Amino acid sequence: MVEKGQEVQKGDPLVILEAMKMENVIKATGEGRVKAVTVQKGAAVDKGQLLLEME
């Protein structure tokens, strides 16, 4: 839902994780800028995997 360099505010949605037909919206806990997005849409992710970096 976000791209590298994008400014975000507290509560903005960052990533939607789908698991077992449920959607979990990961929201920003504070304001900042997206430093990197390390996953692609539709890709499987592992437990503990880094999804994005903020600065």
As a whole-number percent, the residues of the chain with pLDDT over 90 amount to 89
Query: Domain count of the chain?
Result: 1
Is 1 inside any structural domain? Answer: no
Is 2 inside any structural domain? Answer: no
- pLDDT at 29 (0 to 100): 95
Is 12 inside any structural domain? Answer: yes
The helix (H) or strand (E) run that includes residue 50 is none
Is 44 inside any structural domain? Answer: yes
Q: Please give, one letter per residue, the 3-state secondary structure of 11-34.
A: CCEEEEEEECCEEEEEECCCCEEE
Is 29 inside any structural domain? Answer: yes
Q: What is the pTM of this model?
A: 0.83
Is 39 inside any structural domain? Answer: yes
Tens of pLDDT along 15-55?
999 988 899 999 999 999 999 999 999 899 999 999 999 99
Q: What domain range is 19 assigned to? A: 7-54
